[in-house]
Amino acid sequence: MEWVEIDGSYGEGGGQILRTAVALSVITGRPVRITRIRANRSNPGLRPQHLHGIVALKELSNARVKGAQVGSTYLEFVPGDARPKHVRVPIKTAGSVTLVLQALLPAMAFTGGSFEVTGGTDVPWSPPVDYLKNVTLHALERMGLRVELEVRRRGHYPKGGGLVVGRVEPWEERRPLIALEWRRIERFSGISHATNLPSHVAERQAKAAEERLGELYNVPVEIEREVSRSLGPGSGVVVWAETDGLRLGGDALGKRGKPAEVVGREAADELVEALTPGKAVDRFLGDQLIPFLAFAGGEIGVSEITSHLATNVWVVERFLGRTFEVEGDVGEPGVVRVVRRAGV
């Protein structure tokens, strides 16, 4: 049994290393040993949100795990026989639902199955669930992977309580993704939501985003307004550009004392920033696609090569050998090309 050895402090040095490494362990059947987990962070070691992803993958693959507790800087993960399951992940706080799904979806692509995750759907430092549903899954569908996802309830910091359910069809036909530049924007779409707040919050967020995008681009802009109830208050906007290639996204979260108009403009400005280099993939989607591209093949143009993306490439290549060629420096637009597609 040959271990894949991962230095958890490498590059970006955060939870992304764990999510990608453990997912690839399940996919390839190779045991992984991760040391120095988040060693350079102010609170090193595993945090609760990382454990939820590890436990979900343990359940999916009947794995043997050592070191899976809060604060641990060491993890051993020995996958067993991965097969289709209904995986439930009950996060009792506002821990991010989408970060758990970032760990679960690559592995589930090879098994199929369904999931039910409670926690935070729209929380700081993680992709909002509407971005995952409308930008990430749109790109994965182009690669032949079908994922259904339904947001049953929103969850915000600090109470959480969101509920997301879905299912993943086994990834039978892995289609290469060629998405280098966008040439035309068909329209802008989005969702502005307000939970346990007056409906005018969702309206004002949406209107501000629509106005900002309408000032700059002569294409239709249509942002859905959503008002809901959950355990606690919260709001946010996700907007995306429907281009002749993929979708590029931008988002912003509301918080106490932050005017709804500022939230809407922030989301629109982030999207404009993503569109400006003319690349087909925004910086957030770029790193999320890396584990899938390794098996599907193709090449993507990214509005920014982030340290997350570079670190994800490194982790994938610890398992699969040289897989990618990255043109461009961190912090700049660039191209990621699969030079050797992995088989399973």
Global confidence as pTM: 0.97
C-alpha 318, offset from chain centre: 21
What value does the mean pLDDT of the chain take? 97
CATH 3.65.10.20 location in the chain: 83-173
**Whole-angstrom distance, CA of residue 176 vs CA of residue 138:** 14
Q: Is 244 known as a binding-site position?
A: no
Kindly state the average pLDDT of the residues 258-282: 98
Q: Given this model, what pLDDT does residue 343 score?
A: 82
The pLDDT tens digits of the residues spanning 9-37 come to 999 899 999 999 999 999 999 999 999 99
Give the pairing type, strands 85-90 and 75-78.
Answer: unpaired
Start-to-end Cα distance in the chain: 18
**Would the annotation count 286 as a binding residue?**
yes
- Cα 127 to chain centroid distance, Å, stands at 6
User: Would you say 46 is a known binding-site residue?
Assistant: no
Residue 322: what residue type?
A: R
SS3 content of the chain, % helix, strand, coil (to 5): 35, 30, 35
Taking Cα atoms as reference points, which of 322, 315, 327 lies closest to residue 341?
Answer: 322
- Spot the catalytic one: 52, 156, 193, 308: 308
CATH 3.30.360.20 fits 183-275, yes or no: yes
Top-level class of domain 83-173 = alpha beta
pLDDT score for 285: 98
Q: Do 91 and 119 contact (CB within 8 A), yes or no?
A: yes
- Say whether 324 counts as a known binding-site residue: no
Number of Cβ within a 10 Å radius of residue 257: 5
CA angle at 197 for the pair 273 and 234, rounded to the nearest 5°: 50
Residue 72: Cβ within 10 Å count: 16
**Residue 344 pLDDT grade (very low, low, confident, very high; cuts 50, 70, 90):** confident
Q: Averaged over 180-184, what is the pLDDT?
A: 98
Where do you find CATH 3.30.360.20 in the chain?
Answer: 183-275
Q: What is the pLDDT of residue 49?
A: 85
Mean pLDDT calculated for residue range 239-261: 97
254 annotated ligand-binding residue: no
Clarify whether 308 is annotated catalytic.
yes
Identity of the residue numbered 116: E
CA angle, residues 326, 295, 15, in degrees to nearest 5: 70
- Coil, strand or helix at 140: helix
pLDDT value at position 160? 96
Q: Which residues contact 338 (CB under 8 A, 6 or more apart)?
A: 176, 293, 294, 296, 297, 298, 299, 323, 324
Q: Which residue has the tokens 């109830």?
A: 229
For the cut 90, the answer to whether the pLDDT of residue 191 exceeds it is: yes
**Section 256-284 average pLDDT:** 98
- CB 310 within 8 Å of CB 329: no
**The pLDDT of residue 52:** 94
Kindly report, residue by residue over 203-226, the tens digit of the pLDDT: 999 999 999 999 999 999 999 999
Question: Once rounded to an integer, what is the mean pLDDT over residues 163-172?
Answer: 98
- Over pLDDT 90: what percentage of the chain? 96
Is it the case that residue 129 has pLDDT exceeding 80? yes
| Gap between the Cα atoms of 333 and 320, Å rounded | 25
